[in-house]
Amino acid sequence: MTAFQPGQATVFTTIDEIQRMTSALRKTARPVVLVPTMGALHAGHISLVKAAQRIPGAVVVVSIFVNPLQFAEGEDLDAYPRTLEADVEKLRAAGADAVFAPTPREMYPNGPRTVIHPGEVGTILEGASRPTHFAGVLTVVNKLFQITHCSHAIFGEKDYQQLIVIQQMVTDLNLDVQVIGAPIVREADGLAMSSRNTYLSADERELALTLSAALTSGAYVAGKGPDAVVAAARAVIDAVPSIELDYLELRGPNLGAVDPEGANRLLVAARVGTTRLIDNIGIDFGSEEVTGQPRD
- Of 185, 191, 218, 244, residue with least CA distance to 45: 185
Closest to 104 in 3D by CA, of 71, 148, 73, 128: 71
The separation between CA 266 and the C-alpha centre of its own chain, rounded to angstroms, equals 16
185 annotated ligand-binding residue: yes
Instruction: Tell me: is residue 208 an annotated ligand-binding position.
Output: no
- Could you tell me which residues are beta bridge partners of residue 276? 271
Which residue in 79, 147, 72 sits closest to 108, CA to CA? 147
- Cα–Cα distance measured from residue 254 to residue 263, given in angstroms and rounded to the nearest whole number: 10
**If we measure between CA atoms, which residue out of 92, 87, 77 comes closest to residue 7?**
92
**Residue 158 assigned to a binding site:** yes
- Annotated binding residue at 136? no
27 annotated to a ligand binding site: no
Buried b (16+ CB within 10 A) or exposed e, 95-125: ebbbbbbbeeeebbeeeeeeebebeebbebb
224 assigned ligand-binding residue: no
38 is in an annotated binding site: yes
**39 among the known binding-site residues?**
yes
Query: Does 44 carry a binding-site annotation?
Result: yes
Does residue 117 have a known ligand-binding role?
no
Task: Tell whether 178 is in a known binding site.
Answer: no
The question of whether 45 is a catalytic residue gets the answer yes
Report H helices in the chain: 15-27, 43-53, 84-94, 104-107, 126-129, 133-148, 160-172, 202-220, 226-238
Tell whether 252 is in a known binding site. no
Catalytic residue among 45, 133, 149, 152: 45
Q: Which of 111, 192, 110, 107 is nearest to 142 (CA)?
A: 107
284 carries a ligand binding annotation: no
Known binding site: residues?
A: 38-45, 70, 156-159, 162, 185, 193-196
Binding site members for beta-alanine: 70
Could you list the residues known to form a binding site for (R)-pantoate, using ranges.
Answer: 70, 162
Where is the binding site for ATP, in residues? 38-45, 156-159, 185, 193-196
Q: Which residues are catalytic?
A: 45
